[in-house]
Amino acid sequence: MALTSNTNIRHTYQQTGDIHESVLDLVVDTAPMAVPLLAMVGRGPNPLSTRFEWVLDYAGPYPTSVTGLVRGEGDDANPAVTAKRTRLFNDTHIWGRSWSVSHTAEVVDAIGIDSEFDYQAAKHARLVVRDMNYLAINSVAEVDSGTPNDGVGTNNRMMGGLKHMQRAIGQSAGIAENFVTNHGTYVGADGDAVRTQDFNDWEAYVESTDTALTSAYLNGAMKECWSRGGMGSGVIQVLANGTLKQKISTLYAPESGSSGIHRRDFGSQASTEVVLPVDVIVTDFGEMHVHLDQSVGAEDVFGFDPEFFNINVLRDFELIELAKTGPSQHGMIEAEMTCSLLAPNTSWQLELKSAS
């Protein structure tokens, strides 16, 4: 006969304190770690000091008339004054991360970890690479005017990232900044900061607007880049955050407003897959290959040619085990690098005050 009134069955709810738990012996780090910019750019020459320099020349724009292109029979040569070349530079930037682990934390049997110190070293190594991706885009040039450990971060030497270099050696009517001063930010000792006559022809194209992103701004940037001779490879790599990347897709293949047009990926067999992203755009002036990058600000879109934007390493990533000061173990990872926009006219920047 069944005991229908038995409510005193011993079960796991009563034994929460004495049951061996089944825990996956693994730690899952869910932080975003993609570094799209670093994945595209090359490693240029190593600086020999804390300043990396390169020389730019500009032979002039494409002719627009026959003036100066006609010679008379027997005419003597009349040499013109040769142009002065411009030397640009970028300073190196030191950054890193540090951690400390107690002796106890090192020896306890932690889930998914053989050595807490080694785990922290590996984690911080990934983070400093992610930091480099952010700095290569967003860092603002700063002159080294402080002393070590003075506690004033703005006095530490900083490189200019892609955004600041484009802005400082770029000009647009929509940007209320001093042209000569900004250009001078990256002009070397033998450079000429006042080449106002021809500078507009080889600079980075920069446009700032209070309106939302439109295809006209993107197409206009490509046209300006082409007109300044910056489309050597015919392809510009474009970086945008999630909101503006999505906006670009809807601009070139609307989800609404065009009778609900969507693109479908038809292979050898019929497919019901709807492909919403627009990653490659072929314009009259070259191709745009559009990429997501979480280091890009909510109001920015950058275009550049990786052939002419390099990472320059003075001191590569270094894991340093610091001196002991007690029953704990200290470590840090540090690197010193800069970046170089070798040909500014191969890049452009759009700054939208409205991200929608």
Sequential pLDDT tens for the chain (356 residues): 565 677 777 777 777 778 777 888 888 888 889 999 999 999 999 999 999 999 888 887 888 899 888 999 999 988 888 777 788 899 999 999 999 999 999 999 998 999 999 999 999 999 999 999 999 999 999 888 878 877 665 688 999 999 999 888 765 444 444 333 455 688 876 655 444 445 566 788 989 888 899 999 999 999 999 998 999 899 999 999 999 999 998 888 765 554 445 555 555 566 667 777 889 999 999 999 999 999 999 999 999 999 999 999 999 999 999 998 899 999 999 999 999 999 999 999 999 876 55
Rounded Cα distance, 228 and 218, in Å: 16
**Residue 131 belongs to a domain:** yes
Surface-to-core class of residue 189, CB atoms within 10 Å of its CB (0-12 exposed, 13-18 middle, 19+ buried): exposed
State the Cα–Cα distance between residues 44 and 311, nearest whole angstrom: 6
- Asked whether residue 22 is assigned to any structural domain, the reply reads no
> Do 236 and 222 meet the contact criterion of CB atoms below 8 Å apart?
yes
Whether residue 189 lies inside any domain: the answer is yes
Q: Look up tokens 């992103």; give the residue.
A: 213
Range of the domain at 197: 50-58+84-352
Q: Measured between alpha carbons, how far is 326 from 320 in angstroms, rounded to an integer?
A: 17
> Among residues 341, 219, 231, which one has the least CA distance to residue 281?
219
Residue identified by tokens 């067999």 is 269
Residue 18 resides in a domain: no
| Pairing relationship of beta strands 204-209 and 309-321 according to DSSP bridges | unpaired
- Number of domains into which the chain is organized: 1
| Residue 326 domain-assigned (yes or no) | yes
In a domain, 79, yes or no: no
Main-chain phi, psi angles of 13, to 5 degrees: -60, -30
pTM over cut 0.75: yes
Residue 201: name the closest of 56, 44, 335, 50 by CA. 56
- Report d(CA 193, CA 179) in Å as an integer: 10
Nearest residue to 185 (alpha-carbon basis) of 206, 158, 156, 153:
158
